[in-house]
């Protein structure tokens, strides 16, 4: 870590600061230049509060030379991590298509969608049982019963399953779930992350709506520092001023995360755009940007022709998307 | 709730949609205009998924005529709510100054700061025991021991105390805490909100970095719908592109929230700006905008002259700020 | 246009409003429902100030049923517009690769880059002569001399050329320029847009850093409403809180603009990301999202091995990118 | 300027970079540390392209030690600048209230509003003649005729006047205008700024919707570097995700700009919030934050009782606001 001191800092102030830094078990190397004094901090700087340090009156700027994440850092782990869920691999060249309904509604629904997406080539089945909703009055999911139905669909199709956890007290219900999802709103629910770090389950960690990529990696670090290395990162759109899409899908996140980290990166174009017709082009773009998989919503409601415009793809649309993805993946070989 | 259907919608499509809406126990009134068809939905529309409805192919726009929050809504509760913490009142004309250190560090520290802020006129003492940190390697607070020290400071000064909760499993530790704070990162940790709604404790709910004011009110609703009406709203800055301040303090939130809701609204200029020298002008601005209180960080570190530039005020700076606030409050009578 | 009036609006207020709307030559159809009154406004609503209307005390919401842009609107012009620059076509299935240096520096530089990008398959040559710079003290481009050198490169290679205009008074210099670029900072320089609308030159209009897609289309409308239909839209990143990339490339803009408008849409990944190594994956993603072309920076500075990390691609990197783009384009057939 | 080189940079790379920097007439001081090498650049670094430098593969980070603005910089001009418009002073303790209609509509209107605001204590009259509008089909202002009417109102009341310029070719019309406004959309129309820098007129420069405070100061620098030091900065809201207000008023801009620059800073709460009822609290907050003035919209339309909810204050509301501002200003003495 480098701290550049302001022009005009007195020797006493500099000594004060160095003493304080050394009290945190850091080695401090001083380079005095004509314009500025630069302190090089050596040791375990991950415990230094960068915001506090940079807010000091005499400090011009502070810069980490090493990123604050270790376990998620590609520098210390050059090879791609491959996360395995059931017999499906994600990352390191393995591309996974995760599909299923937004919410699990009935046994027929989840079974029908599960069979349809499997037939079209989905690798993993998704379905929401615990639903984080902005309003306390909105449908919050079938909860325990939803997970039971999802497990039935797993049994019927053989597809590994992924579903979201909102409260660590429900962890027992996830014993046979293959991937546990942490939603965008819980990306910095640090207590939840640490508890999930104590399991060995693959965790799909969604980026928060206003979180930087470095913050996403620090949240992955919360899980990994407890011993669980099976983390999948997921870009699902950030909040911006644009209103044509529900959120702004930040596809640059894919190559940036791949450079910084060895963890697999998948993209959720359904939540990011909020419109079914934008899902296929953005899923294709995600694949071309190098994503390790996509997660899309597929519903099956033949009775309701109205729903074509909603966020979820119909099974035929999903089938068509899968075909397109395969061609783009081949073009990238 | 109003749904405007697109020009060109067929009668069958309209009937389909109306049937679906009626299946949710809503009355549907149809107004067919030359350009558009407008559906008026009567009944408990708080359970209607507005995003799903507006994403339907035939729907031009959907608009709630009544806000989705009920308990927090000023329409149903015209008088200001006054929240009481110990013998201190907040809201309805009562202005509360909350002050104290970012983190509780030692017994001496918290006692000294507590006495200093009391002398300058603070109404409530703040201090962090459980600290949400971006990095798992950063100091996470003294936890249980921090709360014990804070309770000692309460005993020594008589000031009511406020501190943050991060995990509902720690609730027992908060038995003698006067106000429980929910941090910005947990604003949509709905399970935590619901559990806090089952207590009668005053809850200070901070706005998330990328959350709208309506979402803040919906989170207050999560607490209130469980029976706890003692909610204090707190604006603490949102994330924007500007880098001169840590976050962008959105002071318009004060009059907007006062119009929409009867709950007290306080402002935290310390976290919003991240710089001590910006705290006094923004605290003054918050008071002039009509806030029901402010929450500021005050530290006491005479050994470290370096810290003047950091986020926290020194006791003399806080004393001076309090004098200024009183004059502005008087000017507003 | 639809205006929904608030519950509790008095008949007199409604009449007042209707009288005012009729004074603007609009037909007003009234539908009185149980909960609300809805006004349907028929006629040339493009002149109605939506913000003013929606800010009125009695108005709940206002919604355009027809978009405010006409000439750029796909509804009134279902077929893709194909813009022609020299013998190169853009849009309607024609994909254009625009490449060249950020700034024109010397004759050798522009000629060498021009030949290199032509050989790799570029369709159009870019190069900055007038450079908008945040600082008045930064290099502002070679100006007139830059355009002269660009025209020489055009003669030498036969490639059509594109360069940015900053001031309408320089228009005469652009007589032999094939496409005139309007930069992000000038997207709402309405006087400049109107003057460019009086020419017949193809105009590449870049999206402003904080402008919505609808505002981009309205700026295209400024050009088109003066008679110039040769507008190419360009997504080049928007401003967000993320700092890993210079801006946030909003690739959803591609399918959204294609749905709303018949104009070609190209993507500039160089300015959006600010880093050469992110350009190839984002260019590939743009092609997969359906863009009608890309614009990338290519420099040629064999003397300076340091520059590999900068925003511009080297000619070999550009060559490799072109090969990848062709394969992705084929996969999308 | 400080450039920190990455760990692992070879001596040849370092020499290459130093040679390049010296070719720009900079002195380069090298400090080699254990972890990093730090280059201190001395000389006129305002011409160094920081983005290019920091994008180099071997460069870890670049930091200006001196801000890139000179003329606007408080360091080189410690005393507050006082801008004089007619006999009205702004800055350095002088607080100016600027008021008037959004658009000049008729002679009666502008005269009536001018007299009303003067009576309530306004210092300067505002009124739009050239109106930047998102849509080419919207009312663009009375233009020349608008300025003629504004000059009549100046004559009738003695108030100095301010109005917006959109095109430098209209400059002659502004001969008797006291302050020329540059709107948010033109904040980076650098050619316009430079031309205005050649006049001696006071210029009110509005912050762009997505521009940082440093960019605002750099745009002020464009005017000042041409010789015109009469620049007034204006905060008018930035674009964020919040939808309750039209823009997000960033009042922290006031103390931040005062620290960085000697120029006066005023606040426009009317455009920022878009709602009349939010104008008084935010104007009061601006005064309490230390602004040197406010600019608010006041209309006078007794025929249209509907307009009370719109962005503009009525004359009685403005009168009441002025009283409140005076009390807050006194409290701050």
Chains that touch A (3 or more CB pairs under 8 A): B, C, D
- Tell me what pLDDT residue D308 has: 47
Which region holds residue C91: left if phi is over 0, alpha if psi is between -120 and 50, else beta? left
Q: Does residue B190 sit at the A interface (CB-CB below 8 Å)?
A: yes
Residue D249, SS3 per DSSP: coil
> Which of D28, D31, D208 has the most A C-beta neighbours within 10 Å, making it the best mutation to test the interface with A?
D31
Chains that touch D (3 or more CB pairs under 8 A): A, B, C
- pLDDT mean across residues, chain C: 91
The per-residue DSSP string of D145-171 comes to: HHHHHHHHHHHHH---EEEEE--GGGG
**Nearest residue of D to residue C221, measured between CA atoms:** D136
Instruction: Tell me if C177 sits within 8 A of C198, measured CB to CB.
Output: no
Burial of A323 (0-12, 13-18, 19+ CB in 10 A): exposed
Which residues on chain A are in Cβ contact (under 8 Å) with D2? 4, 35-36, 38, 60-61
Residue spans of alpha helices (H) in chain A: 11-22, 50-55, 107-119, 144-157, 190-197, 213-224, 253-260, 269-273, 279-288, 315-331
User: B231 pLDDT exceeds 80?
Assistant: yes
Q: Encode B229-261 in three state secondary structure.
A: CCEEEEECCECCCCCCCCCECECCHHHHHHHHE
With CB atoms and an 8 Å threshold, state whether D243 touches B212.
yes
Dist CA C256 CA C237 (whole Å): 15
With CB atoms and an 8 Å threshold, state whether A244 touches C256.
yes
Dist CA C119 CA C130 (whole Å): 26
Dist CA C327 CA A333 (whole Å): 10
From chain B residues 202-221, the ones with a CB under 8 A of any chain A CB are 208-210, 215, 218, 221
- Predicted confidence band at D315 (pLDDT cuts at 50, 70, 90)? very high
- Tell me what pLDDT residue A35 has: 65
- pLDDT mean across residues, chain B: 91
The per-residue DSSP string of D35-100 comes to: S-EEEEEES-GGGS-HHHHHHSTTEEEEE-SS-S-STTBGGG--SPP-EEETTEEEBTTB-EEEEE
Q: Does residue B121 sit at the C interface (CB-CB below 8 Å)?
A: no
Dist CA A135 CA A244 (whole Å): 23
Size of interface A-B (CB pairs under 8 A): 140
The β-bridge partners of A181 are: A164, A204
User: C305 pLDDT exceeds 50?
Assistant: no
Dist CA A183 CA B126 (whole Å): 30
With CB atoms and an 8 Å threshold, state whether D137 touches C68.
yes
- Tell me what pLDDT residue A34 has: 64
Which region holds residue D86: left if phi is over 0, alpha if psi is between -120 and 50, else beta? left
With CB atoms and an 8 Å threshold, state whether D46 touches C137.
yes
Task: Work out the minimum CA distance from D47 to partner chain C, whole angstroms.
Answer: 5
* CB-based contacts of C267, cutoff 8 Å, min separation 6: C234, C235, C236, C249, C251, C254, C282, C283, C286, C289, C291, C293, C294, C295
User: C144 pLDDT exceeds 70?
Assistant: yes
User: B92 pLDDT exceeds 80?
Assistant: yes
- Predicted confidence band at D43 (pLDDT cuts at 50, 70, 90)? confident
Beta strands in chain B (DSSP E): 2-5, 27-32, 37-42, 59-63, 83-85, 88-90, 96-100, 124-126, 161-165, 179-182, 203-206, 231-235, 265-267, 293-297
Task: Work out the minimum CA distance from A31 to partner chain D, whole angstroms.
Answer: 6
Burial of A179 (0-12, 13-18, 19+ CB in 10 A): buried
Instruction: Tell me if C127 sits within 8 A of C147, measured CB to CB.
Output: no
Rounded to two decimals, the pTM is 0.92
pLDDT < 50 regions, chain A = 303, 305, 307-309
In whole angstroms, how large is the CA radius of gyration of chain B? Answer: 23
Mean pLDDT of D67-74: 90
**Among candidate residues D219, D235, D245, the one with its CA nearest the CA of residue D268:** D235
- Tell me what pLDDT residue C59 has: 85
Residue D260, SS3 per DSSP: helix
φ, ψ of residue C177 in degrees (nearest 5): -80, 140
- Tell me what pLDDT residue B305 has: 44
The bridge status of strand D37-42 relative to strand D27-32 is antiparallel
Tell me the pLDDT tens digit for each residue of C179-212: 999 999 999 999 999 999 999 999 999 999 999 9
- Tell me what pLDDT residue D32 has: 74
Q: Does residue D323 sit at the B interface (CB-CB below 8 Å)?
A: no
φ, ψ of residue B311 in degrees (nearest 5): -70, -30
In the block, residue with structure tokens 């409604």: C14
- Tell me what pLDDT residue B33 has: 67
Task: Work out the minimum CA distance from B203 to partner chain D, whole angstroms.
Answer: 24
Q: Does residue A259 sit at the C interface (CB-CB below 8 Å)?
A: yes
Q: Does residue B24 sit at the A interface (CB-CB below 8 Å)?
A: no
The per-residue DSSP string of C65-112 comes to: SS-S-STTBGGG--SPP-EEETTEEEBTTB-EEEEE-SB---HHHHHH
User: C136 pLDDT exceeds 60?
Assistant: yes
- Predicted confidence band at B304 (pLDDT cuts at 50, 70, 90)? low
- Predicted confidence band at B309 (pLDDT cuts at 50, 70, 90)? very low
* DSSP class of B214: H
User: D305 pLDDT exceeds 60?
Assistant: no
Six-digit token pair at A257? 């995360």
The highest-confidence range among B63-77, B288-302, C226-240, by mean pLDDT, is: C226-240
Q: Does residue B45 sit at the A interface (CB-CB below 8 Å)?
A: no
Higher-confidence residue of C258 and B67: namely C258
Q: End-to-end CA distance of chain D: give it in Å, rounded.
A: 39
Which residues on chain A are in Cβ contact (under 8 Å) with D61? 2, 61, 63
What are the Cα distances from residue B11, in Å, to B6, B15, B38, C235? 12, 6, 13, 39
The answer to ipTM > 0.95 is: no
> Half-sphere exposure (CA, 13 Å, Cβ side) for A37?
20
In the block, residue with structure tokens 């983190």: B103
- Tell me what pLDDT residue D12 has: 87
Dist CA B165 CA A291 (whole Å): 37
Mean pLDDT of B50-77: 82
Task: Work out the minimum CA distance from A130 to partner chain B, whole angstroms.
Answer: 11
Closest CB to B306: pick one of A13, A186, A194. A13
**Among candidate residues B147, B276, B256, the one with its CA nearest the CA of residue B207:** B256
Closest CB to B255: pick one of D250, D256, D278. D278
Tell me the pLDDT tens digit for each residue of D82-136: 999 999 999 999 999 999 999 998 999 999 999 999 999 999 999 999 999 888 9
Tell me the pLDDT tens digit for each residue of D251-304: 999 999 999 999 999 999 999 998 889 999 999 999 999 999 999 999 877 545
Task: Work out the minimum CA distance from C185 to partner chain B, whole angstroms.
Answer: 16
Chains that touch C (3 or more CB pairs under 8 A): A, B, D
Higher-confidence residue of B306 and C299: namely C299
Tell me the pLDDT tens digit for each residue of A47-100: 677 777 877 778 887 877 677 898 999 988 999 999 999 999 999 999 999 999
Q: Does residue A58 sit at the B interface (CB-CB below 8 Å)?
A: yes
From chain D residues 260-299, the ones with a CB under 8 A of any chain B CB are 272-273, 277-278, 281-282, 284-290
Tell me the pLDDT tens digit for each residue of B269-284: 999 998 889 999 999 9
Residue B32, SS3 per DSSP: strand
Mean pLDDT of C20-25: 83
Closest CB to C249: pick one of A251, A281, A287. A251
- Tell me what pLDDT residue D49 has: 75
- Predicted confidence band at C26 (pLDDT cuts at 50, 70, 90)? confident
With CB atoms and an 8 Å threshold, state whether A139 touches B47.
yes
Instruction: Tell me if C238 sits within 8 A of C248, measured CB to CB.
Output: yes
Beta strands in chain D (DSSP E): 2-5, 27-32, 37-42, 59-63, 83-85, 88-90, 96-100, 124-126, 161-165, 179-182, 203-206, 231-235, 265-267, 293-297
Residue spans of alpha helices (H) in C166-212: 190-197
Q: Does residue A321 sit at the C interface (CB-CB below 8 Å)?
A: no
With CB atoms and an 8 Å threshold, state whether C2 touches B34.
no
With CB atoms and an 8 Å threshold, state whether A29 touches D29.
no
- Tell me what pLDDT residue C51 has: 74
Closest CB to C52: pick one of D47, D194, D310. D310
Tell me the pLDDT tens digit for each residue of B107-133: 999 999 999 999 999 999 999 999 998
Mean pLDDT of B171-182: 98
Instruction: Tell me if B163 sits within 8 A of B128, measured CB to CB.
Output: yes
């Amino acid at each position: 870590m480098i701290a550049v001191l302001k022009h005009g800092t007195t020797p006493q102030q500099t000594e004060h600061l160095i003493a304080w830094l050394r009290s945190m078990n850091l080695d401090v190397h001083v380079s005095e230049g004509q314009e500025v004094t630069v302190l090089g901090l050596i040791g375990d700087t991950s415990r230094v509060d960068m915001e506090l340090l940079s807010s000091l009156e005499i400090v011009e700027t502070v810069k980490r030379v090493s990123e604050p994440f270790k376990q998620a850092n590609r520098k210390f782990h050059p090879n791609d991590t491959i996360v395995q869920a059931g017999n499906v691999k994600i990352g390191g060249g393995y591309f996974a298509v995760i599909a299923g309904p937004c919410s699990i509604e009935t046994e027929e629904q989840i079974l029908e969608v599960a069979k349809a997406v499997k037939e079209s080539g989905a690798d993993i089945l998704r379905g929401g049982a615990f639903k984080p909703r902005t309003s306390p009055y909105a449908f919050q999911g079938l909860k325990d019963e939803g997970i039971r139905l999802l497990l039935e669909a797993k049994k019927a199709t053989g597809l590994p399953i992924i579903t979201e956890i909102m409260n660590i007290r429900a962890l027992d219900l996830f014993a046979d779930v293959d991937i546990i999802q942490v939603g965008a709103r819980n990306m910095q629910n640090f207590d939840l992350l640490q508890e999930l770090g104590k399991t060995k389950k693959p965790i799909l960690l969604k980026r928060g709506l206003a979180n930087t990529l470095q913050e996403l990696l620090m949240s992955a670090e919360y899980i990994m520092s407890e011993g669980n290395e099976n983390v999948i990162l997921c870009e699902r759109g950030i909040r911006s001023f644009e209103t044509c899409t529900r959120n702004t899908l930040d596809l640059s996140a894919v190559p940036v995360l791949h450079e910084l980290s060895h963890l697999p990166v998948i993209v959720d174009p359904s939540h990011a755009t909020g419109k079914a017709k934008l899902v296929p082009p953005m899923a294709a773009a995600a694949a071309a940007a190098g994503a390790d998989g996509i997660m899309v919503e597929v519903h099956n409601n033949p009775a309701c022709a109205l729903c074509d415009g909603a966020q979820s793809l119909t099974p035929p649309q999903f089938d068509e998307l899968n075909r397109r993805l395969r061609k783009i993946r081949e073009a990238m070989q």
